Amino acid sequence: MYIQKTVFVSTEVQLCGHTIHIDSNSKSTASNGDFFNPKPNAFSLPPVSTCPGSTEKCRKSCYVMGLAKFSPDTFATYTTNERVLHALLEQGPETGAQELGEWIAEHCKGGFRWHVSGDIFSRDHAQWIANVCNNSPEVRHWIYTRSFFAVPLLTAQAKNLTVNISADADNLDLAARVAAVYPVRLTYFSHDGSLPNLPDDSIIFPDYPIRGRDLAEPTSHPWWQSLSKRERKMICPTDFFGQSEVHRCGPCDKCLKPLNP
């Protein structure tokens, strides 16, 4: 069994007189620290309420809802972040972007993730993200989003942001059309093990019942055995095998790799 206990971390950052929380965990810290000593490198918001592109399938399986129970202090910071972000955006999408970008450039050289929880809820929000990225140009940023309306802006204005668009059976047709036009990676959430024909650089995120992480030999899981070699290469190793120093964002670079325009 690979899975180890996840460590959550958080720190406060001051933006134009407001306090936001930058957090992370053992899985998503990228190269900022390690599994047991992660460093904060993510900005998050409350789930569902900030996710205009959410589908029935992703809402039913939203992993962040469990965070509300198991790490309520972390979850509470997401609500604070949403309130502060609205206050900043009321003054324009450039407000606080330079300050946050400079903080990221100093503290998150190993990569910055947008929205462990939540998503892009407006065009101004998307512009603010692009502005922050442009104020930390040496840092690789990455995001998973179902807010497809934001893709043209992000891919045009934030060249150091890798955009991964999130799909499942409910929104795959639209996601595939977006991926055919813009330099984005398609990430697919499989809730029941079924898989469509995906582009080679896609990432597959299996729902809990089809993960092998609780087995002594994860690859003995019937679902894994049913996959082709091509499909196995697309599976998120952290989700399927369980979190560890080896299986986490950072050593795994699948979602951080930039795509050619």
pTM of this prediction? 0.95
> CA 11 → CA 5, 43, 245, 254, distances in Å?
20, 11, 22, 27
Instruction: HSE, CB side, 13 Å, CA atoms: give it for residue 151.
Output: 25
Q: Sketch the domain layout of the chain as residue ranges.
A: 8-191
* pLDDT at position 3: 52
Closest CA to 110 of 139, 137, 136: 139
| 81-95: average pLDDT | 98
Residue with the larger pLDDT of the pair 69 and 208:
208
Chain segment 171-185, per-residue pLDDT in tens:
999 999 999 999 999
Chain segment 75-86, per-residue pLDDT in tens:
899 999 999 999
* pLDDT at position 199: 94
Compute the distance between CA of residue 205 and CA of residue 236 in angstroms, rounded to an integer.
6
| Residue 101, pLDDT above cutoff 90 | yes
Compute the distance between CA of residue 209 and CA of residue 157 in angstroms, rounded to an integer.
39
